[in-house]
Amino acid sequence: MPAQAGLHDAGEGDACCDVDGERKSHHSDKVKDNLVSRLNRIEGQIRGVKGMIEKDTYCDDVLNQIAAIQSALNSVGKILLEGHMKSCVVERLEQGDKDVIDELLKTMGKLMK
């Protein structure tokens, strides 16, 4: 699956709401399946890197795998961020909650480190 697959579908069927004072996301089954699949693949890549280190694999090869993992995690983050902005952020702004902008900027700052 290409790195960007599913990115534009992130907002479809997604919504955020406050349930008994607890903030939650509600992603469509399609989006959840996509994210879980990506995370399972990343988990396998991490196990692979661990094995490479245990086998004293050449450092450059390990570093290239780490770069691939970081890219894959960034893709997951982009999907979640897009869905969050299209649903949660929009909803909260429509309700007059301007604090969501500061929250979003703080989160984006963490993602871009």
Does 107 fall in a domain?
yes
Does 37 fall in a domain?
yes
Does 52 fall in a domain?
yes
Q: Residue 107 is part of which domain span?
A: 29-111
Contacts of 73 (CB under 8 A, 6+ apart): 42
CATH code of residue 92:
1.20.58.1000
- Token pair belonging to 16: 């955020």
Q: How many domains does the chain have?
A: 1
Does 7 fall in a domain?
no
pLDDT tens profile 54-105: 999 999 999 999 999 999 999 999 999 999 999 999 999 999 999 999 999 9
Phi, psi torsion values for 19, nearest 5 degrees? -110, 110
Does 20 fall in a domain?
no
Does 2 fall in a domain?
no
CA distance 89 to 87: 6
Location of structure tokens 């900027």:
105
CA distance 48 to 46: 5
Q: Where is pLDDT greater, at 18 or 58?
A: 58
Whole-model pTM: value is 0.80
